[in-house]
Amino acid sequence: MGAYLSAAAGALGITEAQLKMDLKNGQTLSQVAAAQNVSEDDFKARVSSALKPKLDAAVAAGKLTQAQEDAALAKLQQGDPPLWSRVHK
């Protein structure tokens, strides 16, 4: 979840510490994004772009298959991003 939170914070233009604080204080990721004027589609695109190099490195190191990387990126693009509409506990 660390790489995702880092990518999410970058996508929102805030620090990871600020994002963690907002989530800890009961905000959903969609609420934090709205406060930063970032749409869900923009958020997904930005997070995917930030995570792709990390996933590429995992594939190169043999930790993931290319199919697993493709599935992870597709899931992020097609569904609700993790923590998007639920409060983090």
**Are 37 and 43 in contact, with CB atoms under 8 Å apart?**
no
**Are 23 and 32 in contact, with CB atoms under 8 Å apart?**
yes
Q: How confident is the model at residue 81 (pLDDT cuts 50, 70, 90)?
A: confident
**pLDDT (tens digit per residue) in 22-37:** 999 999 999 999 999 9
pLDDT of the residue at 89: 63
What residue segments make up the domains of the chain, in order of their start? 2-78
**Are 47 and 81 in contact, with CB atoms under 8 Å apart?**
yes
Of residues 47, 2, 34, the one with CA closest to residue 20: 2
Helix or strand or coil: residue 38?
Answer: coil
Round to whole Å and give the CA distance between 72 and 69: 5
**pLDDT (tens digit per residue) in 36-80:** 999 999 999 999 999 999 999 999 999 999 999 999 999 988 888
**pLDDT over 80 at 1, yes or no:** no
**pLDDT over 80 at 83, yes or no:** no
